[in-house]
Amino acid sequence: MSITNKKNTPSQKARKLSPRQKMINLMYVVLMAMLALNVSSDVLNGFSLVDEGLNRSKENTNIQNLAIYATLHDAMEQNPEKTREWYDKAQKVRSLTDSLYQFAEQLKWEIVREADGADGDINDIHGKENLEAATHVMLAPGIGKGAKLRAAIDAYRESILRMANDDKQKKIIASNLSTEVPAKGKLLGKNWQEYMFENTPVAASVTLLTKLQNDLRHAEGEILHQLVSNIDIKDVRVNEINAYVIPTAQTVVRGGKFSAQIIMAAVDTTARPEIYIGNTLLKTSNGRYETICNSTGDFTLKGYLVMHNGNGESIRREFSQPYTVVEPTATVSASLMNVLYAGYHNPISVSVPGVPINKVSATMTNGSLTKQGDGSYIAVPSKIGENVIITVTAENEGHMQEMGKFTFRVRKLPDPTPYIAYTDASGTPARYKGGTPISKGTLMGAAGLSAAIDDGILDTPFRVTSFQTTFFDNMGNAVPEVSKSGDFTERQRALFRQLSRGKRFYISQVHAVGPDGIERTLPSAMEVIVN
């Protein structure tokens, strides 16, 4: 019923309603309101029943999902290599689902408390018929959370669909989590959040969000079932029995011990097989075979296993495992080149084939050798021209054994190259080494002169202690200026400012100290051309 305000005409002003007619009109209005309230109450109670059903459904689905997570966790502990990929994906699904689920739960509470006050409870809603609460929480300008909810649903849907590999499964998930506006809503010019929550009663809004939570748990379960099927958690098939020899190492150092585990696949721990090396029964309770290797060469461990099945029949399986015994050996390589530099931290790698790296050690003459971990060392030779000898030892059967000696030549660090450090137009650090034009702005922005060994192998910085710049005046006279550090002096900067395009000056007499502590004078001069 609508009431339209119109301007009263003279005849209407003259016409007055009787008290009886006024009473009839009032009773009609009250009757219509009562009918509307009765219909609204029935509908809202229906929403509450639907919400209860959806809550039961999502809780049941969540219980099933939690059981799958537990199964995945057990499988991860039993076989992490096989399960890790699918376990990690399951944890991602769990995180994504729980995040959006909690966001929907938060919105339900906010809508109910907007309607019922700070003490509002989604399990006991009083203002079910309130049409403004959901509109305010979801659509209020600047603070409405409807657009955020839609974006979160879209992001979740796309992430989940990327994990699904069944077209029917994808279609169901995409349909349940769709944020497309129906044709009716499009005709009204509404977006998804307006179509769903504008002037929607509190009871209906809460039910819509509960349905979203139910759809999230369903999508989560669909993906979890797929992940479980990918790893065949309960697949325990045995259709072949073979004998295997598992050696500790196939290469053994002379004087060391060859050790191997001999097993049969799917062996019963209550009935271990009999193990024969050649034709001799191996008397062992754990299937381990060991022998001392005193000569080098290639050898083969041969034999067979005998096991009895439930019918008393014998099952025999042959095994054969080759192994090699070698002379003691080791490898030492300089990480930079086949030379060590005096006073410099030279990276060294030390290893012994067939020996764990934590059982290998090394010592050095003419300097210090410091272990960094995982077979890495830092060698610092003391004297130039005197060779370094690195001796490698390894623990073998409880005692230390020398694995070899290695000789390295010791040289002085090469001279560095002077350069002017600056930052190019893209913000990348760069080095100007002369011979090409450089802008005056770049030159004025540089702090001073640096030096480093930059030959593609070493990138070692040096500290510049002094240098000289040489300018030429209009008469061709040389104007030298000396800096007692690596920085440009104020006088040098003043001369930079006077340079015009195409002019040049020279940097020479560069003194620099490297990490070896030796001060040297660089022989070459740098030509700087101003652009």
Among positive and negative, which fits the CA dihedral 274, 277, 281, 287? Answer: negative
Least confident of 221-225, 261-265, 279-283, 294-298: 261-265
Amino acid at the residue 110: E
Q: How far apart are CA 363 and CA 443, in angstroms?
A: 49
Task: Label residue 396 exposed, middle or buried (CB < 10 Å: 0-12, 13-18, 19+).
Answer: buried
Q: How far apart are CA 172 and CA 221, in angstroms?
A: 12
Q: Which residue has the tokens 């009562």?
A: 34
In DSSP terms, 332 is beta-bridged to 350
DSSP summary character for residue 322: E
Least confident of 46-50, 131-135, 317-321, 439-443: 46-50
* More confident site: 38 or 465: 465
DSSP string, 6-32: -PPPHHHHH----HHHHHHHHHHHHHH
> Which two three-digit tokens encode residue 492?
């040098």
Q: Which residue has the tokens 């609460």?
A: 133
Mean pLDDT of the chain: 84
> Can you list the alpha helix ranges (DSSP code H) found in 331-455?
440-445
Q: How far apart are CA 50 and CA 48, in angstroms?
A: 5
Domain-by-domain residue ranges, the chain?
Answer: 35-231, 243-326, 337-411, 417-530
Q: How confident is the model at residue 406 (pLDDT cuts 50, 70, 90)?
A: very high
| Residues of the chain above pLDDT 90, percent | 48
The alpha-carbon radius of gyration of the chain (Å, integer) is: 43
What fold characterizes domain 243-326? Immunoglobulin-like (2.60.40)
pTM of the predicted model as reported, rounded to 2 decimal places:
0.41
Whether the predicted pLDDT of 519 surpasses 60:
yes
The confidence score (pLDDT) of residue 55 equals 85
Task: Label residue 93 exposed, middle or buried (CB < 10 Å: 0-12, 13-18, 19+).
Answer: buried
Whether the predicted pLDDT of 105 surpasses 50:
yes
Whether the predicted pLDDT of 311 surpasses 70:
no
Whether the predicted pLDDT of 504 surpasses 80:
yes
**What is the phi-psi region of residue 301: left when phi exceeds 0, alpha when psi lies from -120 to 50, beta otherwise?**
beta
The confidence score (pLDDT) of residue 140 equals 93
Q: How far apart are CA 322 and CA 140, in angstroms?
A: 77
> Which two three-digit tokens encode residue 446?
């540089």
Q: How confident is the model at residue 470 (pLDDT cuts 50, 70, 90)?
A: very high
Q: How far apart are CA 308 and CA 368, in angstroms?
A: 62
Whether the predicted pLDDT of 28 surpasses 50:
no
pLDDT in tens, 334-369: 655 678 999 899 999 898 877 778 889 999 999 999
What fold characterizes domain 337-411? Immunoglobulin-like (2.60.40)
Whether the predicted pLDDT of 8 surpasses 80:
no
* More confident site: 481 or 199: 481
Q: How confident is the model at residue 83 (pLDDT cuts 50, 70, 90)?
A: confident
Whether the predicted pLDDT of 170 surpasses 60:
yes
DSSP string, 487-527: BPPHHHHHHHHTPPTT-EEEEEEEEEE-TT--EEE----EE
Amino acid at the residue 287: G
Whether the predicted pLDDT of 238 surpasses 60:
no
Q: How confident is the model at residue 236 (pLDDT cuts 50, 70, 90)?
A: very low
Same fold, 243-326 and 337-411: yes
Among positive and negative, which fits the CA dihedral 78, 82, 88, 93? Answer: negative
Task: Label residue 412 exposed, middle or buried (CB < 10 Å: 0-12, 13-18, 19+).
Answer: middle
Query: Of 35-49, 270-284, 307-321, 412-426, which one has max mean pLDDT?
Result: 412-426
Least confident of 17-26, 161-170, 176-185, 214-223: 17-26
Whether the predicted pLDDT of 9 surpasses 60:
no
* More confident site: 239 or 439: 439
- Mean pLDDT of all residues in 86-100: 94
Residues in the chain, overall count: 531
